[in-house]
Amino acid sequence: MIPLRDIVPSRTYPLVNNMLIGLNVVLFFVQISLGNEAERFIYQWGLIPARYTVGEIAYHFSFGAQVFSLFSFMFLHGGFLHLLGNVWFLYIFGDNVEDHLGHGRYLFFYLFCGWASGIVHILFNWHSTIPTIGASGAVAGVMGAYILLHPRAKILTLVPVIIFPLFFEIPAFVFLGIWFVFQFLSAAGGQSHAAGVAFWAHVGGFVAGMALLPFLRASPKAKIEDRFQKATAKAGSPRFQVVRPTGLPESPDLFATLVLTPEEAVRGVQKTINSAWGFHNRIFKVNIPPGSKDGTLVRLHGAGRRIDETSAGDLYLRIAIRLPAKAGMW
């Protein structure tokens, strides 16, 4: 299962999440630029359990280097697909967690989950001399927080069946629950060594995220954090919106609602929508003309119910004008 998009819009720009994604990408290119020295680089800054548990090995590293490796390992990756998988999951789920926690607390949350995943990996691989790298544990913590914050949010998911791509909207608690169970069973079944994947780190990060989130939610936000969130609040409605059309059984036409801000309605705007109807998921780019009013209908020709093999009804989008995120309306 490949997640493509969640349906929960964030009210603020995910500055920290984007920074983390950028840092992972930059350091990956630093790695591959090292050529033959890349392996030595990974052994230096990756997480090797024996560095902490075997005295003869730990002797060769300073206290600062030992502490630093407990964090640096989560910014290194073993290949492009490894990097892509981690930053893609972080892109999908991280913005909503940052939106809820605030920028500063989210950075602490991410680093703590990555650190906790490393500690769990050490506990289950006590004398291993194989370096572990990757943001998977920290990203798993973000996923653990997301399942608590938005358990019923829909995840648009690609399920490839042989050569046929199928798209489903899966509740977050189902999608992330399946992911976690798979990680746990793989770890408990001893698949980590065989597959070269640190499954226990994934499990540890996920549980750490679920455990830490309630404490951070209960802690008061600093005034500077509130000001920073207001300064980074999005002024417009989400560029990508999921709409769920409805219509009369006897009619091929469908109707749905598209949300805009007053400014967007006045000047006109382009939106990308995912029309989720039954087992059908279709994506359209929609140009909203300037001067649209609340209740204005925008017609998408042929985007409704199929009449026959050559024709279909229309999809009508009703414009709903709402105040932007700064007013707390999204």
pLDDT tens for residues 270-305? 988 888 766 667 888 899 999 989 999 999 998 888
- pLDDT band, residue 259 (cuts 50/70/90): confident
Q: Picking from 5-9, 178-182, 220-224, 261-265, which range would have the lowest pLDDT averaged per residue?
A: 220-224
| Distance from C-alpha of 177 to C-alpha of 182, rounded to nearest angstrom | 9
How is residue 128 written in tokens?
């291993």
Q: What pLDDT score was predicted for residue 278?
A: 61
Integer Cα distance of 178 and 180 in angstroms:
5
Hey, what CATH topology would domain 240-324 get? HSP40/DNAj peptide-binding domain (2.60.260)
Question: pLDDT, tens digit, for every residue of 65-124?
Answer: 999 999 999 999 989 999 999 999 999 999 999 999 999 999 999 999 999 999 999 999
Tell me the C-alpha distance between 77 and 136, whole Å: 10
For CATH 1.20.1540.10, list the domain ranges present in the chain. 2-231
The pLDDT of residue 191 is: 58
Q: In Å, what is the CA distance from 110 to each residue of 11, 43, 91, 300?
A: 19, 23, 13, 42
Asked whether the whole model's pTM tops 0.75, one would answer yes
**Confidence band for 52, pLDDT divided at 50, 70 and 90:** very high
For the record, the structure tokens of 84 come out as 């892509």
Q: Is the pLDDT of residue 194 over 80?
A: no
CA 20 – CA 22 distance, rounded (Å): 5
What pLDDT does 109 receive?
97
Q: How many CB atoms lie within 10 A of CB 249?
A: 5
Q: Which residue in 137, 142, 106, 140 sits closest to 120, CA to CA? A: 137
The residues of the chain that CATH labels 2.60.260.20 are 240-324
329 has pLDDT over 50: no
Alpha helices in 54-135 (DSSP H): 55-58, 63-72, 80-101, 103-124
Residue 212 has pLDDT above 80, yes or no: yes
May I ask the CATH architecture of the domain 2-231?
Up-down Bundle (1.20)
- Computed over every residue of the chain, the mean pLDDT equals 88
